[in-house]
Structure 1
Amino acid sequence: MSAPVVDVWGPVAPGARSSYPSAPEPHETWHLSGGKAWVYYSPLNRRQLIRPVILSDGFSGGSSDLDQLFHGLEENGDYRFISELHASGRDVIILGYDDRTASITDNANAAIECIRRALSERVGRAKLVVGGFSMGGMVTRYALAKMEQDPACPDHETSLYFSYDSPHQGGWLPVALQAFTHYATDKWGDAPGIGPVLRQFSGLLNSPAAKQMARWHIEKVGDTPAQAPERTAFLKALDEVGGWPRTVRRIGVANGVDTGTGNGVKAGVIAVRCDGETLHDTWLKTQAKGDQVVAKLQKTGEGVTEVRTSGLPDIDGAPGGLFVLPSPAGDAGSFGLAALLMALIGNEVDPDVITTSCFIPSISAVDAGDINDPKALHQPITPDRSALDAYLCASRNEGHTTMTEELGAWIVNEIVAQG
């Protein structure tokens, strides 16, 4: 059984990775230190790199999967992003990484090498467009900023940077889910079948990149939710290179709304509960403000473990891109993943599961406020609050990094406007 993993296109159910259709053969493949780039020339450019657009992969387990990436950009939504870029005369470079769980700053070195390669292969003097999806937006943000600050780096010759539902102010995965995953791994991590699934997902949560992006993280049950040291170090590194690339137009989109309207998930209620062969009356709650027991965990025949939080915002119901898990039973999400894991270890799950929750708050995706501020999370976003030069939020709260015509066409139009 393969593990459920979180990737640039949202979480993937066990076995789903193999279902992606094969991507068209790239015109060129660049082997980079720590990564790989697949080049698709525009049909208008006669197999020459004339107006390059670099699209960076995001977070997941293992190395980047071209079939998965191409499917996400062309087939996973209602807008054919690569085809539209090609129709505008842009050449598409899909940037992937050998290890998508590695540090953002490490993968930024591959992004810098990709930018340099694009400049060396480019015919003419057209400026580059560089950006990415989810974590990919953070990797390329840091890479461009580092190139501007490092005397040893050449000019990146980039006119436009974009991010697609990237966690500029951090992302959210319910503490209750993190705790349950680590608890279940401690108890059943060596069990046949389910053990590797649990260990892999717990490992993903504790990977360098996940720690850098999570606004609140726990490494094991009983930890106090906080920014991991890896995140603190990354934010310091980002600050040391100026925070943002300064010589480019900075744009971004969010898969959540800017109106302050949440996704309907209520705070402080039981999201998923189970009872059965291995767990007794175990439940996880949505996050509320103030002191709260967010999870009651009990292996059958053992004592109760309570998971408490204090001072966190009511973020599960906030506007933003949703944690979405495609599965045979239909789309689920963060708490839906917990329900899946509970069932896999032999328990009956109550049917009234609150499946999903906010994953990348809108104010994080457009860098318009601190997601630790409950008021900022749930109020309308205005342009004067954003660190971006321009942004677009979705007209509804939808799955994280879902490629829609609304958001995809806006980015393409911005790219075309650069000339």
Structure 2
Amino acid sequence: MSITEEQAAEAFQAGPPVILAPGPRTTDRIPPPPNDVWELPYGTAWVYHGEGNGRLTRPVLIADGFSTGPSDLSLTWELLEYGPFPLLSEIRRRGRDVVLIGYHERSASILQNAEAVMAAVIEAIGRRVGDHPLTVGGFSMGGLVTRYALAKLEADGIEHEAQLYYSWDSPHTGAWIPVALQAFAHYTKKLDPRFSAQINSPAAQELLWKHIASWEDKPATSERRLAFLRALREVGDWPRARETRLIALANGPDNGEGNGVAPGAEAVTGKGPAVTGTELRTQSEGDDQLVAKLRVVTIPTREIRTGQLPDIDGAPGGTLPGFGILADALNETPGFGVDNPIREHCFVPAVSAVSAREPATHDDLYTPIGDEELEESPFHAVKFASQSETHTLATEELSTWFLDQLP
């Protein structure tokens, strides 16, 4: 059986886009209707009053993370409520109000989506009964959006009244999508540009520690990321109000133990006629490391090699089933079947989630994070998971610690 480029493009485009982010929804359970909906610049907020609160009283603002398209706050509710621990119910049971903040476009610049958070903060202060301080933060990219938003409000001389800022597995020193996956996205752009567009979106470039804009590029820090880091510095890098406490949660451990993914291992191997010869591998250390062989339809096989990158796919931290997401999509596309022995990779290294180090070398990633190092971090308190687990997973271990931090 052979397949033409036209047939391959038609098959690719007929299916949903490959999106390297949590989701899609896995339950038909519908979240309760919000008590209020706020229309914001570049976003929307769903408001749920805490038990015993007839109006907004003790707000906990939760900003959405990265994906493509508008935020699906029903999915946000599902991930935080119907997972291993009912986090939203527990927040409300303790008399706090939940404010879920979504964006009109999740892949837009962090600076743009911070406008939605800044507006939500001002809205919460204006609608709140009494003077209980705010809790403001988010999961994954949401922790960076809120970090910038609070710092920007301070720089503009606007009181945000946040007593607690939190980030939950947020990539403060960079997130990681394997170069093999990025290269495949760009290599198949002619067939379907959607996967490549996600990798090259403003938010993705601002988040990723290393990025490639085309399959032939060498991994480097994107100019968009450098501009975002400059924008952070211009507003003071972090919320610095004296009354604001900063905390971080990591879906990885502090003991340096990896997630078990071996470097240089085959993760996705083509077996369908359209991708026979394609092979995506996990990242290895050293120079001239083969991370991918790419052959799609009639295109000759190309090799993707990297140098001076660490064995980051197996690093301690929050994991994303990036290889699995791509493999599932390919296996649903006629002619594109693959084997997928490795589904997950490190997405947010533990050292990034607590802003301890750049994820630049093996030692940076795998050396245990000690108390002395944490004392020099911007956070007043941090909580690590006992082992590497799914990125932003609201486990009982992390959730109960978080609840005890609420003002």
Q: Distance in 2 between matches of 1:390 and 1:44?
A: 30
Structure 2 match to 1:209: 203
| Counterpart AA for 2:172 | H
Q: Is the 8 A contact 2:174 2:348 kept in 1?
A: yes
Quickly say closer, same or farther: Cα 1:299–1:201, change in 2 above 3 A.
closer
Structure 1 gap segments, 5+ residues each: 190-198, 324-332
Alignment coverage as a number of residue pairs: 386
Instruction: Give the letter for the 1:155 counterpart.
Output: E
Output aligned runs, 1:235-250, within 5 Å.
235-247=229-241, 248-250=244-246
Amino acid at match of 2:227: A
Find the partner of 1:26 among 9, 34, 38.
Answer: 34
Provide the rounded CA distance (Å) in 2 between the counterparts of 1:79 and 1:337: 24
Find the aligned partners of 2:124 and 2:171 in 1 and give their Cα distance: 26
Partner of 2:146: 140
Q: 2:213: which partner in 1?
A: 219
Q: Is there any run of 5+ residues in structure 2 with no aligned partner, and where?
A: 1-14
Asked whether the 8 Å contact 1:274–1:342 carries over to 2, the reply is no
**Counterpart amino acid of residue 309 in structure 2:** L
Query: Is residue 320 of structure 2 the alignment partner of residue 314 of structure 1?
Result: no
1:20 CA drift (Å): 4.5
Contact kept? 1:282, 1:298, Cα under 8 Å: yes
Cα distance, 1:29 vs structure 2: 0.6
State the shift of 1:208 in Å.
0.4
TM-score w.r.t. the length of structure 1 is: 0.89
Match of 2:258 in 1: 262
TM-align CA RMSD: 1.5
Q: 1:159-178 maps to which residues of 2 (within 5 A)?
A: 159-178=163-182
Q: Which amino acid aligns with 2:20?
A: V
- Tell me, yes or no, if structure 1 residue 43 matches structure 2 residue 37: no
Q: Which amino acid letter does the alignment assign opposite residue 203 of structure 1?
A: A
Query: How big is the shift at 1:402?
Result: 0.8
Amino acid aligned to 1:313: P
Normalised by the size of structure 2, how large is the TM-score?
Answer: 0.91
Structural mapping, 1:20-419, within 5 Å? 20-45=28-53, 47-75=54-82, 77-151=83-157, 154-186=158-190, 188-189=191-192, 199-247=193-241, 248-291=244-287, 292-323=289-320, 333-343=321-331, 344=333, 346-350=335-339, 353-386=341-374, 387=377, 388-415=379-406, 418=407
How far apart in 2 are the matches of 1:82 and 1:398? 20
Q: Which moved more, 1:336-345 or 1:170-179?
A: 336-345
Q: Deviations over 1:161-217 (max 9, x none)?
A: 00111011110010011101211233x22xxxxxxxxx3222111110011000111
C-alpha displacement at 1:340, in angstroms? 2.8
Q: Is the 8 A contact 1:137 1:166 kept in 2?
A: yes
The aligned residue for residue 193 of structure 1 is none
* 2:399 aligned counterpart, secondary structure: helix
Shift of residue 220, structure 1, vs aligned partner: 1.1
Instruction: Specify the SS of the correspondent of 1:294.
Output: strand
Alpha-carbon shift at residue 156 of structure 1 (Å): 0.5
Taking the aligned partners of 1:341 and 1:155, their CA distance within structure 2 comes to 46
Per the alignment, in what secondary structure is the counterpart of residue 305 of structure 2? strand
Hey, what does 1:5 align to over in structure 2?
A: 19
Q: Secondary structure at the match of 1:131?
A: strand
Partner SS for 1:339: helix
State the AA in 2 paired with 1:393. F
Deviation at 1:293, TM superposition (A): 1.6
**Does structure 2 retain, via aligned residues, the 8 Å contact 1:95–1:111?**
yes
CA distance in structure 2 between the aligned counterparts of 1:143 and 1:380, rounded to whole angstroms: 31
Q: Secondary structure at the match of 2:188?
A: helix
Distance across 2 between alignment mates of 1:17 and 1:317: 27
Between the aligned partners of 2:127 and 2:110, the Cα distance in structure 1 is 25
Give the Å deviation of 1:150: 1.3
Distance 2:258 2:144 in 1: 25
Please state how far the C-alpha of 1:67 moved relative to its aligned partner: 1.1
d(CA) in 1 for partners of 2:118, 2:230 = 19
Q: Deviations over 1:88-116 (max 9, x none)?
A: 11111111111111100111111001000
Once the two structures are TM-superposed, the CA of residue 70 in structure 1 deviates from its matched residue by 1.0
Report the Cα offset of residue 18 of structure 1: 8.0
Residue identity opposite 1:107 in structure 2: N
Contact 1:283 1:295 in 2 (8 A): yes
Deviations 1:323-360 (A, max 9, x none): 0xxxxxxxxx2222332344325144346x11111111
CA deviation digits over 1:31-67, x for unaligned, max 9? 111111111111222x221111101111111111121
Change (3 A) 1:403 1:304: same
Cα distance in 2 for residues equivalent to 1:316 and 1:360 = 10
The one-letter code sitting in structure 2 at the alignment partner of 1:389 is: H
